Amino acid sequence: MMRITRRRGTIALFITLGAVMVGVALTLQGAWVVLNWRRVWPMAVGIPFFALLIAGLILNTIFLVREVRRNERHDSFLNAVTHELMTPITSIRLYLETLQRRSISEEQRREFYSIMLSDSDRLLATVEQVLKAGEVGQQAKNSARADVDMEALTAECLETTRQRYHLAPDALTLAVERSRLKMVVRGDAAELQTAILNVLDNAIKYSPNGVKICVKLSLEDDTWVFVRVSDTGLGIPSAHLKRIFKRFYRVPSRSHLQMKGTGLGLFLVRSIARQHGGDASASSAGEGKGTTLSLQLPRLLSAQRERAAEVSPTEQKA
Ligand code: ADP
């Protein structure tokens, strides 16, 4: 908290300094214009020079404020990751020590093993997310592309999530808008699954007062496959709707920050969507009013066309 206040102070200082310098430059420009009113050359050189100086000052201030914000995000990411790694490690260690020191019943032993397993799953998930966020961009070229049936893939993700969080069937529902065309996307099935699972995980995590999630799958303009995940949870203030896709960004509200997380999930989601020629976006009516996360992916227009596009020039000549 102290650090955040200090950062806000630094940002305010940079903005004030920038504003004062721009004010001084404007006054100097005014004085210059008054002194050289009738002289062509000093005016022709002076005015662009001052304009450049003012633009430079403004850009410099914007750049400095951005850097301070970026540092802030890095710091909170490090804190979050450390916390995400430390909590399960401490828990596993505690259970191992208990197993080593005390004689416990078979039933308790089994319970300890299952807690340690879920802790190690949590550890693995954090490490995988950090690794994936680092790999994003390099993967685009070597990822395994195939025709992915989005309806089957989404249904599979829902089933995985239901099992993982022990959800009742009506807490997480799928609505598929019927269409004469199949919703097939050319891409990496594992990556697309990661994206949908991340969005579903968030919808559950940010619904602390009960999970009610509706996933809608639809086709628009015969070209775009949309996966929309709507929850009735904490919602997102409109000022943050675009920023949540930035690396390390977490909404700076108390209720959100209490939830575990690294700020990498949605960055990964958008990167994966973009690697597939699509995009991701969020909408929310405001805090406490739920969120809809949308994934937009290009539908594979025709299998034959795709195959023809893949024939190399040498093959075509032959
Ligand atoms: P995190 O690890 O913090 O969940 P994400 O990149 O997945 O990171 O999400 C970024 C931020 O967006 C979150 O910190 C949270 O504040 C907000 N957010 C994401 N999904 C939702 C949602 N379904 N409801 C409310 N807030 C959300």
pLDDT at position 128 is 87
Q: What is the pLDDT of residues 251-309, one digit of tens each?
A: 887 566 567 788 899 999 999 999 999 999 999 998 889 999 999 999 987 654 555 44
For residue 266 and ligand 1, the question of a CB distance below 6 A is answered with: yes
* Least confident stretch, 2-6, 132-136, 165-169: 2-6
> Can you give the pTM of this predicted structure?
0.76
**Test site for ligand 1: of 165, 248, 249, 251, most ligand atoms within 8 A of the Cβ:** 251
Nearest-CA residue for ligand 1 atom 7 is: 265
> Average pLDDT over the chain, rounded to whole?
86
Give the Å distances, CA to CA, from 207 to 135, 151, 212: 30, 25, 8
- Is residue 283 helix, strand or coil? strand
Nearest-CA residue for ligand 1 atom 20 is: 202
For residue 81 and ligand 1, the question of a CB distance below 6 A is answered with: no
The tokens describing 34, both together, are: 């008054």
| CA separation for the pair 183, 226 (Å, rounded) | 9
Q: What is the pLDDT of residues 196-214, one digit of tens each?
A: 999 999 999 999 999 999 9
For residue 199 and ligand 1, the question of a CB distance below 6 A is answered with: no
For residue 292 and ligand 1, the question of a CB distance below 6 A is answered with: no
Backbone phi and psi for residue 136, each to the nearest 5 degrees, phi listed first: -50, 135
Q: What is the pLDDT of residues 73-114, one digit of tens each?
A: 888 788 888 888 998 999 999 999 999 988 889 999 999 999
Q: Is the pLDDT of residue 311 over 60?
A: no
Which runs of E-coded beta strand occur in 162-290? 172-176, 184-187, 213-220, 224-230, 279-284
pLDDT at position 252 is 80
Which pLDDT band holds residue 139 (cuts at 50, 70, 90)?
low
Paired strand residues for 298 = 224
The tokens describing 289, both together, are: 């009013």
Find the mean pLDDT for residues 140-156: 85
Q: What is the pLDDT of residues 214-252, one digit of tens each?
A: 999 999 988 999 999 999 999 999 999 999 999 888 888
Place of tokens 């505690």: 94
Nearest-CA residue for ligand 1 atom 8 is: 263
pLDDT at position 77 is 83
**Residues 3 and 76 sit within 8 Å (Cβ to Cβ):** no
Backbone phi and psi for residue 186, each to the nearest 5 degrees, phi listed first: -85, 115
Within 10 angstroms of residue 4's Cβ, the number of other Cβ atoms is 12
